[in-house]
Structure 1
Amino acid sequence: MDTEHYRAAVKHVIETYARFRPSHGNIRLDTVFDEIHDRYALMQAGWDRGRRVRGNLIYITLQDGKVVVEYDGIEHGITDDLIRQGVEEKDIVLAFLEERYITAV
């Protein structure tokens, strides 16, 4: 694994989704990049229909040469986006599934 390449790929994918705007509500999307600890997130915060909206949309860590998807709240998933950015399929771990390593995408 090329750590710098994987960092850049993860950040690119998150930044891509951060440009989208929710179809309703007053919701802000924030990128959170911690390169020291290799933690990367897309957070949402705001209001929709009188209710507070907050939490993760994407949370990824880099560990032991792998891109670990801790949480993927994107409707169609981000695995294909990571692969298109050059992340090796064998290096993607879907930590939110009981079967941790993906097979075919």
Structure 2
Amino acid sequence: MDTQDYRTAIKHVIETYAKFRPSHGNIRLDVLFDDTHDRYALMQVGWDRGRRVRGNLIYITLQDGKVIVEYDGIEHGITDDLLQYGVAEQDIVLAFIEQPSMAEAA
């Protein structure tokens, strides 16, 4: 797949999760797509039980033909969803998991 296909796949995944509503609280889900810089996010904003709720649920970037999952706050993860929409497994990078450096791997 090319970068445009990956953009489309990422958007489908994020839009799918944006349709869900939290079971409690007054929380809004905001979809943020920046095709110019290849940044894609699903944010949560609102109130729950007297406390402010805000932050990423999903944050993905595209870089050098790779889908970089910077943050995945979905309980079961979004990797299977990306694969379902055609993103190649070797092109998905889970940036929130520390990768051993080349020196440590040797």
Q: Equivalents in 1 of 2:51, 2:75: separation in Å?
A: 21
SS of the aligned residue for 1:57 comes to strand
Equivalences for residues 53-92 of structure 1 within 5 A: 53-92=53-92
Q: Does 1:38 align with 2:43?
A: no
- CA offset at residue 99 of structure 1? 2.7
1:4 match? 4
Q: Give the equivalent residue in structure 1 for 2:103.
A: none
Instruction: Flag the structure with larger Rg.
Output: 2
Unaligned runs of 5+ in 1: 101-105
Gaps (5+ residues) in structure 2? 101-106
Mapped to 2, the partners of 1:49 and 1:7 lie a distance apart of 36
TM-score by length of 1: 0.93
Identity across matched positions, percent: 81
1:35-76 CA distance string (max 9 Å, x none): 000000000000000000000000000001100000000000
Question: RMSD of aligned C-alpha atoms?
Answer: 1.0
Query: How many residues were matched structurally?
Result: 100
Say which SS state the counterpart of residue 13 (structure 1) adopts: helix
Please give the secondary structure, in 2, of the residue aligned with 1:59: strand
How does the TM-score come out when normalised to structure 2? 0.92
